[in-house]
Amino acid sequence: MFSIIQAAGWPIWPLMGCSILALALVIERFVSLRTAKIAPPRLLEEVLNVSRTAVPAPEVITQLAQNSALGEVLASGLRMLSLNPRCSEDDLRSGMEGTGRVVAHRLERYLSALATIASAAPLMGLFGTVVGMIEIFGSQTSAGGATGGNPAQLAHGISVALYNTAFGLIIAIPSLIFWRYFRATVDAYLLTLELASERLARHLNTLRK
């Protein structure tokens, strides 16, 4: 592995840094976007059952907010109704929507960085290719100005060009795939949160009447 890095020349080091950062972001998103931390399957039904006759106690609402992202959105509606039982349905919905936007921002964290790596890695590989091509052309002229050839420098220039192109694509393709996967996962979670908050808003509106 070290011999490959050495053959690829100094332009490979920024690509290596991008690969490490991309791997860290992918692992972090896999851990953070687990279903149990975002939208537990039966949480909404439990909240509806607990609030069937009255708004739960503040301790229960606080515990719900700490449960998951979905719990945080649902707890905001319950807390608003607990603090102001006469609040309008529009205020109730806007309160949950505000919390939902905060949660959405948290779910989308680091996705732009992963997308940037997916876009920049091929360009960084292309930069390494250009550096290798410069070395190749430089090897065709001897120090005295006569046209000749330096096989070692020529081989090194080819290695720099090819290795950097390959590394750029190796980093960009998985980064793009994971970015699209996480983007679709976040969109699915946001739809789940939106539908759940809509259902809770209708339930709480019925509870007030």
Distance CA 186, CA 180 (A): 10
**What does pTM read for this prediction?**
0.83
Residue 33 domain flag: yes
CA 74 to chain centroid: 24
Task: Give the three-state DSSP class for 55.
Answer: coil
Strands (E), the chain: none
Q: What does the pLDDT look like over 135-176, one tens digit per residue? A: 777 666 654 455 555 677 777 677 777 888 889 999 999 999
Residue 2 domain flag: no
159 contacts 12 by C-beta, under 8 angstroms = no
Q: What is the pLDDT of residue 120?
A: 94
Task: Give the three-state DSSP class for 88.
Answer: coil
Number of domains in the chain: 1
Residue 4 domain flag: no
Range of the domain at 115: 9-208
Q: What is the pLDDT of residue 134?
A: 80
Residue 50 domain flag: yes
Residue 64 domain flag: yes
**Residue 206 tokens, joined:** 């019925």
Task: Give the three-state DSSP class for 147.
Answer: strand
Helices 89-107 and 69-83, packing angle to 10 deg:
150
C-alpha triplet 62, 80, 193: angle, nearest 5°: 70
Q: What does the pLDDT look like over 57-71, one tens digit per residue? A: 889 999 999 999 999
Q: What is the pLDDT of residue 83?
A: 84
Residue 3 domain flag: no
Task: Give the three-state DSSP class for 168.
Answer: helix
